[in-house]
A and B are shown apart, each in its own frame.
Chain A
């Protein structure tokens, strides 16, 4: 019974996603995101060089040429290859971090909004404290304290995004808990967990999907900024932000070294934002 309903839910969700075709903006966003996802998946196939293989000949003239389309960096590494491999970093760290932040934020938001009272007070105060710091400062503190690594970046994103997600879910829960179908569920003796996850959460999905797309964009920016500050993935892992930082000193002579990774960051962030816009457009439909 529950299975068939889940299957139904999947078809319905897919039907909604295919509505995206009617939103040109959303389609552009989806194209950009799908493009980068494919690049990340097929990196070993499409990358002309290994991300860390040095071409010492190229050190003489690192500018783009027939062999190195995007040019090479100061160590003679192919920039196209590093941009391609770098997409793997971003597209692993960001989704994992956002997904976990969503799990934690949703749970806390549901608890706070559904039970209210002291649970709400405690959860809210703690997130108020976290949110009262500028996000970038928090990122820096967390990474400086625990050291730069993929795992620590994920933890930092979770630490900062969860309270924000909690607030959204809490707000929606406060509204949805008053719906008559929630009262009906209580009257037939459903558990609090069932009501939170089966009755309330699915109906909050619209705004949450939009927010998740936006948040993927923010997280991409954050990962870029951390890389640029030298708090990203430790070298030699290809990292878009780190690539910009490494070429910073040579920016005026060899702008291509920073330009391509920066363009990669921008296109992915824009992709997520446009996708979010498209999602918002279709969610406003009915």
Chain B
């Protein structure tokens, strides 16, 4: 297994040196013209990108990253316009080109990859034909030449069996494969600039790792300059040489990855870095620091520094000067902060991957929830008249327990059955076999409508999607009072008082009771959802990806809130997530699921150190870590997660396992191996051999 470090990939000697920049933005301002007037989304942005260089633009949603990408493509739609400055591509001002000249440039010299591959592929044309169009249009090649080139490109992006792939339609491919096809298409004409807008955001983490690896490799090979847009700092570290941090439409800090991460100078960059959990820390070693406040609305942007209202280092007189100068700290490291040079050095948080002891845990903690041999099978009928159909084992023979007052995290990629498990626990779905006992009572066979009042009170849930968790027709106060009345039997004054107590618990002002959900931000909605779940003083709180739809700064606040509430109320938390960094931070116990089965279960520190299940190992290696100094062993999983209906007969992970032993893995279900401390691994490889691997993540 090769040891590739982030720094190695990032240092590209001589990249761009001495040559004219491929892309240069000079004081570009971009506005959208809407009913409410002109929205200056990006007031003034400048950066250069040398040949073969990659810059990552990061920032939270709404900060103008995608707008910049579209400005580079000169494709801002009917309402958007570049209102000032120049976008220079290889020295030419793109605004001065005719539509025909622009068309000749797009796809040939500048290509773009979007977040959703399905929207870039034509669903009714086979992949091969779509790929062949590129050289046929741009180079006037004939069909044979174009075909040969398409085949070669499919091989380059590691798609299996390129010949058959050519004849497939987009819907017959998995998300990861589709994105590879889009990347292949973008690179087909060997463009000098590739713009990628969140290209891996919809993908599972192991698939994301493979795609990122591919992009890094192809960039090396074709010497393509890349503008890489992401909200995930970790993915930027993997791909780029330079990083540009955007906030409210402004590039607040820009420089080489190593400089910016080791010595972040802008308070917002620092804020971003300290609010994301890295694989090193957990809730007992340090709290995450959320950035207080919210991104200002574009229509009333503060004078001077845009970050000033949220900045703890702000000094009113100095930070309000307009225009705010951009400081150059070194030749390539620029910061838009007047205090950049005088701020204390950023104390780098403990990154040691050495397991931090998880407090003094009572060894004989009482298990509140026991899940034994739980199965959930859906029958999928085929054809119009039912046919025979097949069974989908969404949850297959799961064995888990959760202790009072502790957090059990369930991690896994999409389709691993983690949400189905949550539905069975809540009673929204019934278990097909096995038992779930909550404080000794069986609950998996009772639909939620028929559960005893006390069981309903005891089990509550926080959902994933902030936009659908609250009824848009009901005010926050109504939602809270209703929950309090149904779960606790309080009404009138008492319910009002309890509402204010709960809103205070989740750090929301009282006035919110009269607000409607659409007046709240995503993070605020999620806080209300947590308050609602707390209304009945539950014993068990299920949280299904509660932070995955939120921006990182808000995410930190919600995670802290959950930790805090749990510590105060002693409720058991089941935290379902695909994000191992968050899990590492929050959980006491972790269960790793794959295709409906628990592959590994143990204390958090045990999960993040050998012995690993090979799948856990791969997951750990795939997590993008926002720290160029952390070394991650690269294990790239090939292939896609099998669909649940043709699940492997033996070990579910056998088809992708890099440590597969042989036919035994394909044919026999792996034994559950248990260590003395209760750490369980379902694998054919003996525990001793599993112990003999190095740590995946080393600081």
Contacts and interface: CB of A to CB of B under 8 A. Distances in A.
Interface residues on B, range: 35 or more
A183 B532 CA distance: 13
B305 interface: no
10 contacts: A1-B481, A1-B495, A179-B468, A183-B463, A186-B449, A187-B428, A187-B461, A188-B483, A190-B486, A203-B471
A57 interface: no
B482 interface: yes
Interface stretch (B119-127, B452-460, B571-579): B452-460
Given A181-B468, A187-B448, A189-B487, 5 more contacts: A1-B481, A8-B475, A184-B532, A202-B473, A203-B473
Contact of A180 (B456, B468, B491, B516): B468
Interface in B456-500: 456, 459-461, 463-465, 468-475, 477-478, 481-483, 486-487, 491-492, 495
Contacts of A21: none
Nearest to A204: B473
A199 interface: yes
A283 to B, nearest CB: 13
A188 to B, nearest CB: 4
Interface string B483-523: 10011000110010000000000000000001010100000
A192 B447 CA distance: 13
A1 B491 CA distance: 9
Contacts, number: 71
Nearest to B449: A186
B536 interface: yes
Interface string A177-210: 0011101101111101000000100110100000
Contact of A12 (B427, B460, B495, B516): B516
Nearest to B483: A188
List the 5 shortest-distance A-B pairs measured between CB atoms, nearest first. A202-B473, A180-B463, A188-B486, A181-B471, A180-B469
B486 A183 contact: no
B616 interface: no
A56 interface: no
A8 B515 CA distance: 10
A211 to B, nearest CB: 18
Interface of A is mostly: helix
Nearest to A285: B35
A12 B473 CA distance: 10
A183 B491 CA distance: 22
Interface in A153-193: 179-181, 183-184, 186-190, 192
A186 B450 CA distance: 10
Contacts of A8: 475, 514
Interface string B536-559: 100000000000000000000000
A142 B492 CA distance: 52
Contacts of B460: 187-188
A190 B427 CA distance: 14
B66 interface: no
A257 B492 CA distance: 64
Nearest to A191: B449
B469 A184 contact: yes
Interface in A74-128: none
Interface string A212-244: 000000000000000000000000000000000
A159 B330 CA distance: 78
Contact of A186 (B448, B453, B532): B448
Given A1-B478, A188-B482, A190-B486, A183 B471 contact: no
Contacts of B495: 1
B426 interface: yes
Nearest to A186: B448
A9 interface: yes
B459 A187 contact: yes
A183 B473 contact: no
B428 A183 contact: yes
A188 B487 contact: yes
A1 B496 CA distance: 9
B470 A187 contact: no
Contacts of A192: 449
Contacts of B465: 180
B374 to A, nearest CB: 19
Nearest to A190: B486
Contacts of B536: 188
A117 to B, nearest CB: 14
A209 to B, nearest CB: 13
B487 A9 contact: no
A186 B460 CA distance: 10
Contacts of A199: 471
A205 B470 CA distance: 17
A5 B449 contact: no
Contacts of B529: 184
Contact of B472 (A187, A189, A203): A203
A102 B477 CA distance: 30
A42 B561 CA distance: 62
A190 B470 CA distance: 15
Contacts of A180: 463-465, 468-469
B119 to A, nearest CB: 21
B520 to A, nearest CB: 13
Contacts of A203: 471-473
A208 B465 CA distance: 25
Given A1-B481, A1-B495, A181 B487 contact: no
Contacts of B478: 1-2, 5
Contacts of A9: 473
A169 to B, nearest CB: 15
Contacts of B514: 8
